[in-house]
């Protein structure tokens, strides 16, 4: 049996849009999630302390006019009720209320499934302004795999290509801060915009299965490049380096910095970039760049320069095996970037052990800049505004 041959799991289905009637396990989890949202935001820390002054607002960059135009056009295509549903203040709890769990847990905004095709296209146009062609292709691929799940499970209340929620925070502006979020199973993108600067984090992308073996999207596969590049880094390490890199013999149940983990404290673990050979450093840079290339070229270049300032103190760690079929987890992180990749056990499929058929990835900006919060604070300080 291969990782793609497990039978579908028979589990309690989610009630369609019925609040308060979730399965008991989710009801209990929801209590903890809501409690985490009551904690003041600090940001993800590396080693326990939040480092200040890492994120600078640059006032003279040309504004993102195409992005503003796309958001404005979207608003113009919505009716009054939809505009009320989609619109939130810039400072709102909904930023942190995203979840990978299916579909009616902590959701807000407008559901793409409730929109007409032209309105969905307007949202896709907006997304294309802050995702590169390959980043947008991955995002749409994840949505299409959710449609494949709907077809094979026959559970439209849980899965579907357009079972994703879109929200706007603040008013689209060429100069004032604003942002947006798309939120749903295996796809969450948070975007803050200030003038010409964009913060794209947290970004959560995953899939189960990672490949459609039938249906209208047969052959579609996602996140293979992220998987292969991680293996290349790990397999390049010497036995001594692997002793530093491998921090557990099995992959964890999930990524560490997923939903409701905005303030998680990460230990410094793994092999340090400065202790790698030139060839190994090239492989680690290439791995990081796969995630940065989800952004358009200009934004990816800016983030690449930011990461490069801290590249010597970047760490790479690993859990699990690194054979041809072994499930695994890796993390690459420094002061301004956190990347996680992990193989998980089955939710759609009935495999209690992790396989390569279920992947979660997450990108975060440690030290307080998820959701662009540190950049926003710096922007306000420069303008003499209240934090």
- Please give the average per-residue pLDDT across 271-293, as a whole number: 98
**Chain Cα centroid distance, residue 42:** 19
CA distance 310 to 279: 18
CA distance 202 to 369: 9
Give the pLDDT of residue 5.
67
* 323-375 residue pLDDT tens: 999 999 999 999 999 999 999 999 899 899 999 999 999 999 999 999 999 99
Write the burial class of residue 51 (CB in 10 Å: 0-12 exposed, 13-18 middle, 19+ buried): middle
* 186-239 residue pLDDT tens: 999 999 999 999 999 999 999 999 999 999 999 999 999 999 999 999 999 999
- Ramachandran region, residue 160 (left: φ > 0; alpha: ψ -120 to 50; beta: rest): left
Return the higher-pLDDT residue of 385 and 138. Answer: 138
Maximum distance among all Cα pairs of the chain, rounded to whole angstroms = 63
For residue 342, how many C-alpha atoms fall within 13 Å in the half-sphere facing its CB?
Answer: 25
Tell whether the model's pLDDT for residue 17 goes beyond 50. Answer: no
Question: Whats the size of the chain, residue-wise?
Answer: 387
Give the pLDDT of residue 32.
86
pTM of the model: 0.95
Q: pLDDT band for position 156 (50/70/90)?
A: confident
Integer angstrom CA distances of residue 246 from 124, 242, 331: 39, 6, 11
- The answer to whether 358 touches 218, Cβ cutoff 8 Å, is no
- Ramachandran region, residue 351 (left: φ > 0; alpha: ψ -120 to 50; beta: rest): beta
Mean confidence (pLDDT) of the chain = 93
């Amino acid at each position: 049996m291969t990782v793609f041959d497990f039978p579908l799991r028979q589990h309690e289905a989610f009630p369609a849009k019925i609040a308060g009637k979730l399965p008991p396990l989710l009801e209990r989890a929801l209590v903890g999630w809501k409690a985490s949202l009551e904690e003041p935001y600090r940001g993800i820390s590396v080693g326990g302390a939040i480092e200040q002054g890492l994120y600078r607002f640059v006032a003279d960059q040309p504004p993102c006019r195409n992005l503003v135009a796309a958001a404005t056009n979207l608003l113009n295509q919505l009716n009054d009720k939809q505009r009320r549903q989609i619109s939130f203040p810039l400072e709102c709890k909904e930023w942190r209320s995203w979840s990978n769990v299916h579909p009616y847990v902590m959701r807000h905004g407008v559901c793409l499934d409730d929109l007409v095709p032209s309105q969905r296209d307007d949202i896709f146009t907006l997304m294309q302004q802050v995702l590169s062609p390959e980043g947008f292709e991955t995002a749409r691929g994840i949505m299409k795999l959710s449609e494949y799940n709907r077809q094979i499970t026959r559970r439209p209340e849980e899965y579907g290509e357009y079972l994703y929620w879109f929200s706007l925070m603040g008013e689209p502006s060429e100069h004032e801060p604003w942002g947006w979020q798309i939120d749903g199973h295996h796809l969450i993108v948070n975007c803050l915009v200030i003038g010409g600067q964009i913060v794209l984090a947290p970004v959560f992308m995953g899939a189960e299965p990672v490949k459609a073996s039938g249906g209208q999207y047969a052959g579609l596969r996602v996140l293979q490049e992220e998987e292969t590049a991680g293996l290349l880094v790990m397999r390049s390490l010497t036995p001594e380096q692997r002793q530093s890199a491998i921090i557990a013999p099995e992959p964890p149940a999930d990524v560490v910095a997923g939903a409701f983990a905005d303030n998680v404290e990460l230990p410094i673990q793994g092999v340090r970039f400065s202790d790698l050979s030139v060839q190994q450093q090239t492989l680690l840079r290439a791995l990081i760049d796969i995630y940065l290339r989800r952004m358009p070229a200009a934004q990816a270049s800016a983030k690449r320069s930011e990461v490069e300032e801290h590249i010597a103190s970047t760490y790479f760690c690993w859990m699990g095996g690194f054979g041809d079929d072994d499930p695994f987890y890796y993390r690459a992180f420094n002061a301004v970037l956190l990347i996680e990749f992990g193989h998980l056990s089955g939710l759609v499929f009935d495999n209690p052990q992790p396989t390569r058929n279920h992947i979660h990835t997450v990108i975060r900006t440690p030290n307080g800049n998820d959701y662009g919060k540190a950049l926003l604070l710096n922007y306000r300080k420069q303008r003499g505004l209240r934090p």
